[in-house]
Amino acid sequence: MTQDWLPLPGTPVEELDTPAIVIDLDAAEANIAKMQQFANDAGISVRPHTKTNKSPYWAWKQLNAGAIGICCAKVGEAEQMAAAGIPEILIPNQVITPRKISRLMSVAGTTKTIVAVDSAANVADLSSAATAHGIELGVLIEINVGMDRCGVDPDAAPALAQEIVKASGLRFDGLMGYEGHTVAARDFEDRKTEALRAMDKLLSAAAGIRQAGIPVNIVSAAGTGTYNISGPLDGITEIQPGSYIFMDGDYLEVFEDFKPAMTLLTTVISKTGDRAVLDCGLKSVSVDRGTPYAVGIEGVEVGSPSEEHTKISLSGEAKNLSVGDNVSLRAMHGDTTINVHDYYFCVRNGKLETVAPIVGRGKFR
């Protein structure tokens, strides 16, 4: 791929080609530091979920700040991170089918790898593959803590833990449970009530396994919205937040514990009276959690994007916008917007500091 169009460090933001994901480095680095400090104070570890950032550039910043490893949603993301030398990867999802399991073994051959399971059949398949490859694969049982996505009920955990302990090639590391049904609840008390209920399930599963005489070293939980609810509970050993690094429009409605660090820089390509058109659309900004909004300027009302166009209505100071001017948007959902971009344009004091490739983009297999 030709890269000779990429801008050089020092380029002013307004000279970047658009649409471009612009990251405020000071804000993102402050978010990484704040989450790590919180965990240090609480005596727990951070294993950030890189399904948000999809980039070793950010994973290394998180590790250098003190994270013990990272999470990757998919084997494809893990392959990219392992190739970049990331030393420890948890896939907090199920890896099923021979082709995927074989790719997982390749990752596990180069970096310490842990995977989540929720069935005895999957344990047997992983065990055969790990034994054949002569590796030891870490395994966490995923507990369904109320999200009703994947995971076993707490009562079923001891029997599954026995299966893992017996299986050659596998190392039983512990449990995980993601309370994704409550991480984005707007009201703190609602979020807390549901998260505590969810963590009761996770911790009771851990107690059941210990009663069966099996040690549980890892109890992993929490997303951004519950880092300070689930994280400090006795028995939780680590948190796996992802969105905190950039904070999207949706999460900023939950709380402002972390700083907004990501915008989509766009350009006005047409203007007719009080109506203008931006050069972004569904192929560069997601709308699954709502329409993006303009930041840094009053009077821009953003309409529904089509493929490559987004109409905006102008009032107040925004009426002065001209063709060629920039407008910064905030996506309501960062992860799905990042997933369609090749690069982060990382900026400090209004100038480009570095361009970081989003190597995990589209790695959904």
**Which residues bind to ligand PLP, rule: CB under 6 A?**
49, 51-52, 92, 178, 180, 183, 223-225, 240-244
Nearest CB to ligand PLP, comparing residues 225 and 281: 225
Minimum CB distance to ligand PLP, residue 222 (Å): 7
Phi, psi of 89 (to 5 degrees): -130, 130
Of 226, 77, 44, which Cα lies nearest the Cα of 147?
226
Helix (H, G, I), strand (E, B) or coil at 174: strand
Nearest CB to ligand PLP, comparing residues 225 and 357: 225
Nearest CB to ligand PLP, comparing residues 49 and 363: 49
Minimum CB distance to ligand PLP, residue 223 (Å): 3
Residue 236, Cβ density class (10 Å: 0-12 exposed, 13-18 middle, ≥19 buried): buried
Which residues contact residue 318 at a Cβ distance below 8 angstroms, ignoring those fewer than 6 apart? Answer: 294, 297, 298, 299, 300, 312
Minimum CB distance to ligand PLP, residue 150 (Å): 9
Minimum CB distance to ligand PLP, residue 31 (Å): 11
For residue 346, list its beta bridge partners: 23, 354
Distance CA 19, CA 69 (A): 32
Minimum CB distance to ligand PLP, residue 98 (Å): 24
Nearest CB to ligand PLP, comparing residues 158 and 242: 242
Distances (CA, A) of 151 to 93, 155, 196, 306, 333: 9, 12, 18, 37, 25
Give the CA dihedral 9, 12, 14, 18, nearest 10 degrees: 0
How many CB atoms neighbour CB 159 within 10 A? 13
Minimum CB distance to ligand PLP, residue 240 (Å): 4
Minimum CB distance to ligand PLP, residue 52 (Å): 6
Nearest CB to ligand PLP, comparing residues 50 and 310: 50
Minimum CB distance to ligand PLP, residue 178 (Å): 4
> Quick check: 13 and 264 in contact, CB under 8 A?
no
Nearest position to ligand PLP, beta carbon? 223
Residue 229, Cβ density class (10 Å: 0-12 exposed, 13-18 middle, ≥19 buried): buried
Nearest CB to ligand PLP, comparing residues 36 and 243: 243
Nearest CB to ligand PLP, comparing residues 257 and 325: 257
The helix-helix angle for 120-133 and 157-166 (nearest 10°) equals 20
Nearest CB to ligand PLP, comparing residues 241 and 305: 241
